[in-house]
Structure 1
């Protein structure tokens, strides 16, 4: 199975660390973030990987090469200008003739990729979004009013649950048929467009570990949680 990893972002929320260093190469213990990602993909027999690169692409290529020493095959697709999270797929759409995976290159997770792919195929979906449950503690009494501003309901310090995208997707090649042939386009826009075209899009809820390394505090947590996702 093939995978496309988005590794071209500037990591602006992690400045100044990412000024001269791509975020996917930031080390967790003795391995870069992206090497940990590759290890998990390889163990799931996902070994044909394309990196979508941009910012400091030459450093990524110098470190990972053709992927041989990591037990995978790696190729590179470099965007000359920002294309969003879905736009880069235009540059490599001919590579994907069967079910494929797309994910961000700064995600640490213990997700079972085999189970995710099997779920996608059993559902006969054109796209599957891997999701993670999150909660928000509200420190106040939440009041709901009726249309005439009369009191309706009071919830004291409720806990709100919601699902968030993990940045991991499974697609069928036909999903790219709705992708504009050029320009900036994001994966949420692709998902919405598929749904608007009455294509089956499903969600797979992952109940295990997942961390998106967006800020310095996330990076610190990733270092602290090392044993939970390797």
Structure 2
């Protein structure tokens, strides 16, 4: 059972999401109406996943995400919003969110996203994903994560196998699919992904996928080069 903290400034949205998740068998351990409350509850309740609204009073979802992950890096934050502005998507991902869902999606998609987030798997709404990666390809400086040329230089420390894994992460492959493509066990794939994110100073697979595109390891049709 996944421990979930639901954060949204609209009581009706919180109630609906909470009911949906509990009906699906997950454990909603708390609800927060703004970012400051979310930070306090995340520290006290230690959820596996935080479903985080983007725009809220007192403290927005991006800054709340940054503070939660600074205190508890193992928490997985999934942004849930009606907005799909490119700058806000990048802000959420650079803060460490593992995914970004739009509120007009299907209920089943939200349940699946929470379960994937709990496993640390990245998830972006299809309408958002292509723009995020297209922007990554166009970018010449990594202004969103503050790494820029340093990330490119750090990539030189990757082994050939780690670069293969990074390319497949950028192409949107799951650990199981990467294992199948490279004839590796899941545990080995996880070790390679962890090594890649550590060497590049990244928080999660979403940022790794963006870096893979920025380094030219994946083309604009999500094919490994």
Tell me if both proteins adopt one fold, taking TM over 0.5 as the criterion: no
Asked which structure has the greater RCO (Cα within 8 Å, sep 6+), the reply is: 1
**TM-score, structure 1 normalization:** 0.31
| Higher fraction of strand | 1
**TM-score, structure 2 normalization:** 0.31
| Higher fraction of helix | 2
